[in-house]
């Protein structure tokens, strides 16, 4: 057992946490849409073909917003294929994932699904093979009152009220050579600026997201952000970050250290944003939209080979990763990294919602079940609401090969005044139990029940595929030593949530 101490102070409050950090991502890819959220022959399908059991699971997960329709898919997509009478919609050969797109689900259906799931839609526009006109016409279809050609088309299709989609992503991973219509940073920056300018001229209430680098591993990383922002700074509200981590074969401690790499990535892009802000003498601040993130152990070339070797088919099953307890620890650390940087990270979309690198899995014609990563997301979406507290941790450390010195405990503290509680989220990256003391300065712990929820399994490779309740949270006890101190034990290789009911000294 090793000892650690954590100190928080009620007066050292950093920033309000945006609920949109708890977002997800739906792309027309594999079984994410078809046989994921939509399966019209399923016994749980509603009148529009959406699975009610999946909607219930999305609500349980606590998803607040969903990005759509891609992803790589969007760069060959014409939104006009997916509206109007279904029997007249064209079937297309979809190039990104080498599949047949039936267009049964399009803009109107997805908006209906978001209303049922109670999530905010975030739309991406095609800046790969299309451009300004396609983006502006989609915006008019979605957001403008009837009276002109595209808004009237929406009304004709049975949807008189505008959808008022608030956030628009200007393309997807436009730096990547795999992207249909990928561009240089100068070409993309010019096009994104023109598109954002036109879209905001049509609807000045919207917020726009420009593409950042598709990962830290691409050769143009950092140069891409700087150049794109120099073109788009006056028109953009967010810049996107994408990152997936694998590398389980490097060992658990090295694997879990990658959440620190993610924090470094966030801070680097924030620095670039602020450098461009200074260069332009601007008063505007660009925020971060981390609109693709997750744990991915399937090599990219294996995915590419699977796509290339496949015959054209509808909703082919591929890249359906089964997550382990070990994966859930890194996943939790990645989500905690964004909460810890909530001053600038305002939107995040876990990728993907169903079946591919997903928290929610479905069986075609059958059940829905939750992967281990579902639980840290669900609890954090519900309880990591409020104000991020500055925290100081004294804890043993280890040296990572890729990052700096890493603390064995990863933690984030959130103060929710409305609920009169401070909530701590903790990952133990070590194979030993930790005895943790938490000093809560400026708070008075009440006599009400406090709670510690733990996600732990003695087998790091355990998953929920065959036994869906194999890796699930449990409740354990911890002690309140006095009115402002807590003691708890943190299991080896575990994720934990501690809720502490409090009064503040000034109440």
Q: Which residues are known catalytic residues?
A: 173, 292
Q: What span, in angstroms and rounded, lies between the C-alpha atoms of 137 and 196?
A: 13
State whether residue 371 is helix, strand or coil. Answer: coil
H-helix segments, 62-184: 107-117, 132-143, 149-156
Asked if 192 and 236 count as a contact pair (C-beta separation under 8 A), the reply is yes
Query: Strand 207-210 to strand 238-245: parallel, antiparallel, or no bridges (unpaired)?
Result: parallel
The angle subtended at Cα 79 by Cα 66 and Cα 18, nearest 5°, is 20
Give 188: exposed, middle or buried? Use CB within 10 Å, 0-12, 13-18, 19+: buried
The angle subtended at Cα 51 by Cα 48 and Cα 56, nearest 5°, is 125
Cα distances (angstroms) measured from residue 328 to each of 100, 264, 350: 33, 20, 13
Residue 12 neighbours by CB under 8 Å, 6+ apart: 389, 390
**H/E element, 406:** strand 405-407
Measured from the Cβ of residue 147, the count of other Cβ atoms closer than 10 Å reads 8
Full 3-state SS string of 244-264: EECCHHHCHHHHHCHHHHHHH
Answer whether the bond into residue 69 is a cis peptide, omega within 30°. Answer: yes
Full 3-state SS string of 268-307: HHHHHHHHHHHHCCCCCCCEEEEEEEEECCCCHHHHHHHH
Q: Which of 353, 333, 338, 373 is nearest to 455 (CA)?
A: 373
Asked if 123 and 170 count as a contact pair (C-beta separation under 8 A), the reply is no
Q: What span, in angstroms and rounded, lies between the C-alpha atoms of 108 and 264?
A: 39
Asked if 214 and 208 count as a contact pair (C-beta separation under 8 A), the reply is no
Place of tokens 């794109």: 228
Largest Cα separation within the chain, whole Å, is: 69
Q: Distance from first CA to last CA of the chain, Å, rounded?
A: 38
Output the six-digit token pair for 22: 């708890």
């Amino acid at each position: 057992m090793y000892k650690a101490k954590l100190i928080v102070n009620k007066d050292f409050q950093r920033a309000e946490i945006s609920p949109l950090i708890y977002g997800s991502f739906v792309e027309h890819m594999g079984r994410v849409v078809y046989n994921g959220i939509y399966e019209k022959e399923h016994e749980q399908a509603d009148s529009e073909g959406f699975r009610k059991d999946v909607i219930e699971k999305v609500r349980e997960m606590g998803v607040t917003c969903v990005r759509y329709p891609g992803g790589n898919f969007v760069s060959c997509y014409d939104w006009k294929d997916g509206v109007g009478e279904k029997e007249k919609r064209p079937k297309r050969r979809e190039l990104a994932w080498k599949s047949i797109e039936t267009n049964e689900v399009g803009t109107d259906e997805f908006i209906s699904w978001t209303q049922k799931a109670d999530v905010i839609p975030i739309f991406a526009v095609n800046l790969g093979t299309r451009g300004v006109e396609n983006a502006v016409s989609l915006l008019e279809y979605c957001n403008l009152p009837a009276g002109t050609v595209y808004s009237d088309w929406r009304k004709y299709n049975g949807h008189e009220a505008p959808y008022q989609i608030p956030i628009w992503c200007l393309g997807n991973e436009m730096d990547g050579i795999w992207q249909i219509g990928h561009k240089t940073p100068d070409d993309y920056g010019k096009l994104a600026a023109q598109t954002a300018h036109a879209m905001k001229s049509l609807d000045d209430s919207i917020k726009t997201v420009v593409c950042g680098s598709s990962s830290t591993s691409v050769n143009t990383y950092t140069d891409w952000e700087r150049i794109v922002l120099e073109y788009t700074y006056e028109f953009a509200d967010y810049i996107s970050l994408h990152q997936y981590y694998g590398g389980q074969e490097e060992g658990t401690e090295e694997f879990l250290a990658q959440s620190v790499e993610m924090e470094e990535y966030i801070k680097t892009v924030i620095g670039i944003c602020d450098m461009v802000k200074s260069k332009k003498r601007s008063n505007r601040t660009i925020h971060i939209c981390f609109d693709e993130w997750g744990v991915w152990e399937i090599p990219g070339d294996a995915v590419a080979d699977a796509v290339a070797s496949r015959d054209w088919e509808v909703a082919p099953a591929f890249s359906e990763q089964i997550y382990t307890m070990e994966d859930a620890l890194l996943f939790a650390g990645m989500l905690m990294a964004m909460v810890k940087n909530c001053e600038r990270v305002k939107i995040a979309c876990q990728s993907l919602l169903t079946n591919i690198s997903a928290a929610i899995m479905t069986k075609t014609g059958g059940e829905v079940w939750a992967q281990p990563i579902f639980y840290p997301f669900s609890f954090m979406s519900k309880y990591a609401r409020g104000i991020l507290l500055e925290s100081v941790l004294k804890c043993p450390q280890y040296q990572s090969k890729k990052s700096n010195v890493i603390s064995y405990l990863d933690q984030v503290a959130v103060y929710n005044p409305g609920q009169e509680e401070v909530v701590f989220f903790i990952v133990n990256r070590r194979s030993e139990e930790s005895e943790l003391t938490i000093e809560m300065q400026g708070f008075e712990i009440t006599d009400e029940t406090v709670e510690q929820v733990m996600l732990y399994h003695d087998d790091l490779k355990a998953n929920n595929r065959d036994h869906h309740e194999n890796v699930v949270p449990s409740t354990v006890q911890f002690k309140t030593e006095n009115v402002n101190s807590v003691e708890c034990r943190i299991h080896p290789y575990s994720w934990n949530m501690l809720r502490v009911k409090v009064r503040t000294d000034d109440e």
